Amino acid sequence: MRLWYRTGDITALRELSRDRVVCLDAETTGLDPRSDEVLQIALVRGDGEVLLSRYVRPEHHSGWPLAQRTHGISPSMVEGCPSLALLKPEIEEFFEGTDLIVGYNVAFDLLFLQTAGISFGNASVFDVMREFAPVAGRWDTDRQRYAWVSLTYCATYYGIPLRAHDALGDAQATLGCFWAMIGRDSAGIRPTSSRSYLGIVARYSRTKTRGRGRQDE
C-alpha cells in the first residue's frame, strides 16, 4: 500500500474537497477475511456526515467469542440486521465519486469488503495507522520499519475523542486524526511536537530534491 509521506508531496491531499473523502471502519467476527465476516460497518464523509452506520448479520457465523470480548458485539445484537450482501449496493453508491478512502489499518477493512464482492472504484487510499507510525516514532527492529500503534494512541496524540471498538466511533476519530495530520484542522489539545506528519513529509521531500540534484550534476 502506498505511503504518502514517502512521496514528499501531499499537496493533492490538502486540496481535496471534503465531500470526496470517505472514512471507513468495520468490526468483524475475526481477523481472516477469507473466513470471518463483518458485524458492523461505518462510512463517514470527509465533512463529518455519517453516510452509513449499521450492524451487519453474518451469514456463516453464529458466534465469535474472542472478537466479542474486544468489540462487545453479540449475536443477539445483529439478529435481524441486513447482511453485507444486502448492503452492497448502498455501500458501493457511497464510494462512487470518492477520491480518497481513509481508515485505520484500512487495508484490513477493504479486504473484507473485496471478499464480499464490494467495489470501491478507483479511489486512492490513506491508511492513518501506517502514515502515523513515523510520527509515533517507535522503531520495530525485527521488521525494520516504524511500529504501528493503536488508534487510541493516535487519537490521544491529536486530542481527538474516541469511542473505541465501535465502527462509527473509530471512523469519526480516524477522520479527525487524518485532517489533523495533514494540517487541515487544528491538532486538538496536544501541544506542538517537534515530530509532525508534515515535518516527516518535508524531510522526504528534501531527500528527493537532493537526490535529483546529484543526478543533475
pTM, rounded to two decimals? 0.93
Candidates 16, 45, 14, 39; CA nearest to 175 is 45
Residue 217: pLDDT band with limits 50, 70, 90: very low
Domain range list for the chain: 12-128+142-209
Give the Cα separation of 179 and 191 in Å (integer): 16
pLDDT of residue 208: 82
Give the Cα separation of 98 and 20 in Å (integer): 5
Arithmetic mean of pLDDT over the chain:
92
Q: Check residue 19 and report its DSSP letter.
A: G
Average pLDDT over residues 14-20: 96
- Position 130, amino acid: R
pLDDT of residue 193: 56
Nearest-Å Rg of the Cα atoms of the chain is 18
CATH 3.30.1330.20 fits 12-128+142-209, yes or no: no
Average pLDDT over residues 72-78: 98
Say if CB 131 and CB 3 are below 8 A apart.
yes
Residue bearing cell 462510512:
43
pLDDT of residue 191: 46
Residue 212: pLDDT band with limits 50, 70, 90: low
Taking residue 109's Cβ as centre, other Cβ atoms within 10 Å add up to 25
Q: Check residue 163 and report its DSSP letter.
A: -
**First-to-final CA distance of the chain:** 33
| Predicted confidence (pLDDT) per residue in 55-65, tens digit | 999 999 999 99
Say if CB 29 and CB 35 are below 8 A apart.
no
User: How does strand 38-45 pair with strand 21-28?
Assistant: antiparallel
